[in-house]
Amino acid sequence: MSREGAAAQEQVLAEGQARAWIALVGPFAVVALFWGFNYPMVVLGLRSAPPLWLAFLRALFGLVGSIALFPMLARQFQVKRLLPWRLRWKALLLGVPNTAIFFGLWLQAATTVPAGQTSVLVYTFPIWVLLLASVGLGERLGSTQVAASVLGLGGVAVIGLLGARSWTGGWVPVLELLGAAVSWAVATILLKRWFRREEMLEANVLQLTGALLPLGIAAWWSAPLSSVHFGASLWMVLLWVGVLGTAVAYALWFELLSRYRAATLSAYLFVVPMVAIGAGFLLLGQGLGVPQAIGVAAILVSIYLTHRAASRTPRAGSAPQAVEGGA
């Protein structure tokens, strides 16, 4: 091959790599934006609705949006048959840890904890996935994963100790957010054990459905419906966190999962809490002091290392690599 031909071939390869990079980064940037801005938008929504009512309404708007998008996504995923009943029941039950408990604890704590630190504590979930898989499934952790877990838990301790001095409830909201992360981790393991990739689309719709009853009961018990003020600001929040931050973001995420390995994508999920920190500053004026920044940085590095370790090709029977949903 001539020098000119080799140069032309290299140019074609470079252009193909650039297009592939754009095809990945563009949708992922939108997903990270939607999920990151969910956190300050939730804080704004709590000004108009109690936490559990806001959680219920987000799940409801997310379900309606997901149902509307389902026909298009089903064609994209080539879903040719619906789930059998035994898997439908599992999907409905999955809504309890994956959405009801997760949303409920997160939004309850968000009344006190700043948006950026809320997102960082919630996104400790990959650490809990690894630890739960190690304890419950007998998986061995590598040295990088152990170091990442210790670093992340150290960051949690720093944020918790500092937050306990100023947040209403002391350590309670920290424990609520960690409980939300653990609940999400449990759901992640079950989701990957129970459903194949092409089945997760319907499973997502069903788990949102399964979350509505427990969330509705909890919301009704916690506060009357009259405590929800359906004004323009609340509708804006629900359109963001329910339609964009749940239905559309999940649709884009599933589209990415159909083209890329989950572990490859999840290696960059640490971007979401970074977006949330910036969004919290822009929308709410919430910043970080130096000690809090150190704790947040430790957790972000831990999340990155955890995902990078998981992105290596696993052996057969290895622990779940990554989450199939988002916050």
- Per-residue pLDDT tens over the stretch 4-21: 554 445 544 444 444 555
Q: CA nearest 99: which of 248, 217, 206, 220?
A: 206
The first and second tokens of residue 70, run together, are: 């389902």
Higher per-residue pLDDT: 74 or 165: 74
Residue 89 has pLDDT above 60, yes or no: yes
CB atoms under 10 Å from CB of 165, counted, come to 7
CA distance 190 to 80: 23
Query: Amino acid identity, residue 117?
Result: Q
HSE-up of residue 267 (Cα within 13 Å, Cβ side): 14
What residues contact residue 311 under an 8 Å CB cut-off, 6+ apart? 261, 263, 264, 266, 267, 321
pLDDT band at 317 (very low <50, low <70, confident <90, very high): very low
* Predicted pLDDT at 322: 47
* Predicted pLDDT at 16: 45
- Domain segments of the chain: what residues? 38-310
- Give the percent of the chain with pLDDT over 70: 70
- Average model confidence (pLDDT) across the chain: 79
pLDDT in tens, 111-125: 998 888 888 888 888
pLDDT band at 72 (very low <50, low <70, confident <90, very high): confident
Higher per-residue pLDDT: 190 or 46: 46
CA distance 222 to 186: 25
pLDDT band at 319 (very low <50, low <70, confident <90, very high): very low
Residue 315 has pLDDT above 50, yes or no: no
- When pLDDT is averaged across residues 246-273 and rounded to a whole number, the result is 73
Residue 170 has pLDDT above 80, yes or no: no
Burial class (CB within 10 angstroms; exposed 0-12, middle 13-18, buried 19+) of 187: buried
- When pLDDT is averaged across residues 304-327 and rounded to a whole number, the result is 55
Query: Which of 12-21, 79-88, 136-145 comes out lowest in average pLDDT?
Result: 12-21
- Alpha-helical regions (H) of the chain: 3-45, 51-77, 85-95, 102-109, 115-122, 125-137, 143-166, 172-194, 200-222, 232-238, 249-257, 262-266, 271-284, 290-310
- When pLDDT is averaged across residues 164-184 and rounded to a whole number, the result is 81
Query: Which of 4-13, 46-55, 204-213, 292-301 comes out lowest in average pLDDT?
Result: 4-13
Query: Amino acid identity, residue 157?
Result: A
